[in-house]
Amino acid sequence: MRIVSGIVIIMLSLMSSGCDQKNAEKKAGWIDRERIQNLSSEPESWLTGGRDGGETHFSPLAEINDSNANELGFAWQYFTDSHRGLEATPIFVDGVLYVTGNWGVVFAIDGKTGKEIWTFDPEVPGQWARNACCDVVSRGLSVWKGKVYAASLDGRLFALDAHDGTVIWQVDTFPDRTIPYTITGAPRIAGQNVVIGNGGAEYGVRGYVTAYDLETGKKSWRFYTVPGDPKKPFENPALEMASKTWDPDSRWDIGGGGTAWDSMVYDADLNLLYVGTGNGSPWVQKERSPKGGDNLFLSSILAINPDTGDLVWYYQTTPGDNWDYTATQPIILTDLIIDGKNRKILMQAPKNGFFYVLDRATGELLSAEKYATVTWASHVDMKTGKPQPLPQSNYDDEAKLILPSPAGGHNWQPMAYNPHTGLVYIPAMNDPAIYEKRKNFEFIKGINNQGAHFSEGTITSEIGDHKLDETGGFLLAWDPVKAVPVWRHKLGDFIFHGGVLTTAGNIVVQAQDDGFLVFYAADSGKVLHKIQTGSSILAAPMTYLIDGEQYIAVMAGYGGGPFGYFPVGSAVEKYGNEGRLIVFKLGGGDVPMPDVLPALGPIPKPPVLDATQEVLDRGAVLFVKACGECHWNINGGYPDLRRMMPEVHESFKDIVLGGQREALGMASFGDILSEDDVEAIHSHLIKISWEAYQEEQKINK
Ligand code: CA
């Protein structure tokens, strides 16, 4: 007996020191298809960016629910050592949270304690920030069979060992590193491949997605989302067909756009990969494809065979895009009973303001109704599947007030679908914009080339039949079967708020720009609880369970498109922007508040202005083109250049042309600006500094 138990003990100890340890090592981040298909057996997990295969952002956990949400409080936080936008939803598997931060940095964190397990920094050159329209963000990663797949802003795709973060393989996903592509989206697993897209349409690129073998990183296929110059051979028959929807004399040199910068979802049953594509490059169709046309596959949902890269079907949400109406917004897959029939559907609320339900096997349009205020089109024709543009949408000859704005009725912030309530929760917005076509459009490589800009003007309270009594962000509960809104909450004047989580506990969770994480009843929309976090949050919360305790986690860091502006009354304006992952649990305490930012000092006295009106005018135009995207010159994430200190004025040229502050995120513009250009920009800045200085002196008198 003793001998036997001794042998057992020896065997056990051998197993635990040898085999088990090996298994435990092998099993870090071990997600496979079977696990995703049996996800109902592990409610505690969150295995894709949207938790499940359909990316619903719904969790079956209900330990936290509509009757106890008011007891939620702080559990722990992890600092990401960054001050820029955080947009990713963490993945949680076997006790570990995996998530991306700025530039594509990866974090593996213990889900119970918040202790860092490992981090990986792709070390992106600071110069690459210049190619990113909307901050150096990353919207997440994928975990698959012991590997973490993540991409860096500068286009490298990494397969990391989930156990310790070491690089197993890496590939350069860009065809040419002189073209200003960026990656901000998450790679997705589809069949035997990992697939990744990219962004950069406004900078003059041609969109595509590429698939790489999961094990080796060898390229399997690449699918361009828009045709190239028809004088060259087409990469595939789909692009030859698409080319007939473009003017043969299109601006092929600007790339066309159609970048797949966010949503991709894989359906294992149908073996189809769905890809949302972006806007045209440039925005103004007259400049891009002068004779018009639908311009496939801009602003479309593509169904692609993930083994071959062949197009199976497509649906274009905005033919002939002229408004930056991307269809890259998060796609959700689920089954719905529509007209008595069980349909495998996909749904999307793209920027153009219509909520789409499509049969995802065939691409058949099932419904398309307005979820936000839409003035550019009257409706979507259900026979042709095409929206019917209104005269108001055409700004070729005069500036027009149009909704949605280029920010969209909904942007990248994840929406969520709750099968218990049957509702989709959309972080939506009404944002009127006056579109104006630029006269004498000139493409400049390496900067944002929209071809349009936004006039300052009065936003009238009515456009045709539309009353604009409610602008700003709102949270909308939408019935995707009846295609009608069910409840809504106005979120404040600022348009961008957080992505959404919903659970079987009948709750919806969303954060706001004012720092509050808000809990709603999923069925009624009743506010259940609010927690002040001290951060303006844009990302979507997620949830997981360890040792019987449910947690809610969210990445907290303001940024993205509006990083140059801190909204009035926002948490970022008050507390700054210390990036962190904040985690909540029942019975937790208050979130530790960051220190309140010190008040701005007086505007320093600017140097003497010595420039002709001609130079000042040129400087003003160049400033908007080359600098204005980041430097809004108000209280924001980038320095207000009316507040430059004397030593900054002195080294202005070295900073702008010489890259003296590259390490701080201020790239060199030596490749596109001359010394004369920089002098003109500097003169313009001295002029507006004097205006601000004198204004302040007057007030202080
Ligand atoms: Ca865009």
Q: Mind listing the pLDDT tens digit for each residue in 490-515?
A: 998 889 999 999 999 999 999 999 99
* pLDDT value for 336: 98
In the reported structure, the alpha carbon of residue 181 is separated from the centroid of ligand 1 by a whole-number distance in angstroms of: 13
In the reported structure, the alpha carbon of residue 282 is separated from the centroid of ligand 1 by a whole-number distance in angstroms of: 9
| Full DSSP string of 90-158 | PEEETTEEEEE-GGG-EEEEETTT--EEEEE-----GGGGGG-TT-S-----EEETTEEEEE-TTSEEE
In the reported structure, the alpha carbon of residue 596 is separated from the centroid of ligand 1 by a whole-number distance in angstroms of: 34
**What is the C-alpha separation between 576 and 598, in angstroms, rounded?**
10
* pLDDT value for 634: 82
Per CATH, the number for 36-586 is 2.140.10.10
- C-alpha count within 13 angstroms, C-beta hemisphere, residue 208: 22
**What is the C-alpha separation between 345 and 358, in angstroms, rounded?**
5
Among 69-83, 349-363, 375-389, 465-479, where is mean pLDDT lowest? 465-479
Task: pLDDT band for 638, please (50, 70, 90 cuts).
Answer: confident
* Three-class DSSP category at 664: helix
The domain ranges of the chain are 36-586, 613-700
Strands 147-151 and 156-161: antiparallel
**Annotated catalytic residue 324:** yes
Q: Are 170 and 159 in contact (CB under 8 A)?
A: yes
In the reported structure, the alpha carbon of residue 573 is separated from the centroid of ligand 1 by a whole-number distance in angstroms of: 26
* pLDDT value for 466: 59
Q: Which position among 52, 267, 321, 324 bears the catalytic label?
A: 324
- How does the average pLDDT of the chain come out, rounded? 93
Interval 37-88: pLDDT, tens: 999 999 999 999 999 999 999 999 999 999 999 999 999 999 999 999 999 9
In the reported structure, the alpha carbon of residue 207 is separated from the centroid of ligand 1 by a whole-number distance in angstroms of: 12
Considering the chain, what percentage of its residues have pLDDT values greater than 70? 94
Radius of gyration of the chain (CA): 25
* pLDDT value for 409: 97
In the reported structure, the alpha carbon of residue 447 is separated from the centroid of ligand 1 by a whole-number distance in angstroms of: 13
As a whole number, mean pLDDT of residues 462-474 equals: 72
For the entire predicted model, the pTM comes to 0.93
Among 209-223, 290-304, 390-404, where is mean pLDDT lowest? 390-404
In the reported structure, the alpha carbon of residue 532 is separated from the centroid of ligand 1 by a whole-number distance in angstroms of: 32
In the reported structure, the alpha carbon of residue 604 is separated from the centroid of ligand 1 by a whole-number distance in angstroms of: 36
In the reported structure, the alpha carbon of residue 408 is separated from the centroid of ligand 1 by a whole-number distance in angstroms of: 10
Residue 7 reports pLDDT greater than 50: no
Fold of 613-700: Cytochrome Bc1 Complex; Chain D, domain 2 (1.10.760)
**What is the C-alpha separation between 176 and 198, in angstroms, rounded?**
13
**What is the C-alpha separation between 632 and 562, in angstroms, rounded?**
9
Question: 441 or 122: whose pLDDT is higher?
Answer: 122
Interval 570-628: pLDDT, tens: 999 999 999 999 999 999 999 999 999 998 889 999 999 999 999 999 999 899 888 98
Question: 225 or 471: whose pLDDT is higher?
Answer: 225
Among 129-138, 454-463, 609-618, where is mean pLDDT lowest? 454-463
In the reported structure, the alpha carbon of residue 99 is separated from the centroid of ligand 1 by a whole-number distance in angstroms of: 25
Q: Are 221 and 214 in contact (CB under 8 A)?
A: no
- 36-586 and 613-700 in the same fold: no
Kindly state the DSSP code that residue 541 receives in the 8-state scheme. Answer: P
Residue 14 reports pLDDT greater than 50: no
* pLDDT value for 19: 44
* pLDDT value for 10: 39
